[in-house]
Chains A and B, each alone.
Chain A
Amino acid sequence: MSRQPMPTGATQAYIRRETERILGACTKCGKCFEACPMTRYSPAADGAEPERVVTGILGLLRGETGSPEALGWTSVCVRSGSCVPACPDSVNPKLMVRIARMIAAGGLGGPKQLQLKEDRDYFNRIRAFAKLQLTDQELADWM
């Protein structure tokens, strides 16, 4: 088995490759948006023209400013995956919207168009709950 350290940055490189694949594959038919059970929870996306929403998502993938309906859809995506079998072109729209969300949140270095909730206590809270229920030995061996 290889024990060479793996170079960093492979996640971003993979996301860039997937972004290119999605941009090449998507025909903007809007079936993914129609299948989503969450669109009604976004005032900007609710009732929007599916092709228009998907065009906005692809715009985000290209680094453009997101349309209100595209940003609205990404903000309510909870990864139900109902869009995946609805897509006739094997785009994997769940991944498409996830990457759009990463880009909109500034996760790949661009401007922040979507504010995701930050929880400064997130990891410390997990460690604290662990201290309440695991032994010192378990904390040392498992974490």
Chain B
Amino acid sequence: MSEKITFWYGCNVLRHGDIIHSCLDILRLLGIDARAAGGPDYCCGTGKDANQTAADGMARRTVTRFNAMERERVVAWCPSCLIHMKDFMGKAYQPQFAITYLVDVLHEHRAELAKRLAHPVPMRVFVHKHLGFNDKSAVNQKVPELLRLIPGVEVVDDAYAGPGYMCTLLGTVPAAMEDMVRETVRRVGAHQADAVVTTFHQCYRELCGLEAHAGIRTFNYIHLLAKSIGLPYEDEYKAWKKAGTNAAAIIGDERIGKVGVEFFERAMLPELVKKPVGLGPKRVEQ
């Protein structure tokens, strides 16, 4: 192992344990000593626009924790965390580490990564993109380049990029989310793509329901890298989305017991049964 990094996976990707495990395995295969950190205790505070006292405390705490780890770089999974570190946390406090986005690290090591991509993944894919974030990391260029390293993957050329930097805030503007989903579905069909591939977890969370409700296979780019490397992790979140109201049955009583039946049914199940917006007829604005 050469470089020591902190892999700052963020908060919401904790729905996708397979993505976190795969990222750590990939980083270690590339010779990077990755220490994982994330969840609410490492939250960047970007969601606290309405409470800057809380956001400030979270920023200070998280920068202090990363400084104490004394690692050369923090490599972020979540674009919101990276943006907030660069735009606010790192300006207000004194980070003693460099901050980089994961796609940039994988792209830096793409020659070594390519050697690990042993298993063909025959698939013609449409990459779901956004307009934002590319000033921080050129993901709209680099993710297709990473996918093209995988034997069998064909990435369709398509310039469409939805508003926003990932699907997170689009959820607050339902008509915009609906337009984005509708346009994505249309283009997947027009290109006769086998699947839609996302860069970010939040987009994956929104779009993986397409597999259950519209028969469009959906992956995150890490899923396809992991598949080609031969990593064993199962995409449980997608299985739960496909199971919908029966998700608890495949999660099992023991795990449901860890979070509580009442909490699962009230706070977790609704997102598992939710259909992507934009699959039905277009709404007419009144």
| Interface residues in chain A, defined as those with a beta carbon under 8 Å from any beta carbon in chain B | 1-2, 5-6, 8-15, 37-38, 41, 75-82, 84, 95, 98, 101-102, 105-108, 112, 116-118, 121-134, 138, 141-143
Contact = CB atoms under 8 A, between A and B. Distances in A.
B8 to A, nearest CB: 10
Given A76-B176, A79-B165, A126-B11, A14 B267 contact: no
Contact of B258 (A8, A13, A132): A132
Contacts of B131: 37, 80-82
Contacts, number: 163
A141 B37 CA distance: 8
A6 B91 CA distance: 13
A81 B175 contact: no
A128 B165 contact: no
Given A107-B48, A143-B41, A132 B93 contact: no
Interface residues of B, number: 68
Nearest to B179: A41
Interface in B126-171: 130-135, 163-165, 168-170
Contact of A79 (B50, B55, B164, B259): B164
B14 interface: yes
B230 interface: no
Nearest to A130: B14
B52 A12 contact: yes
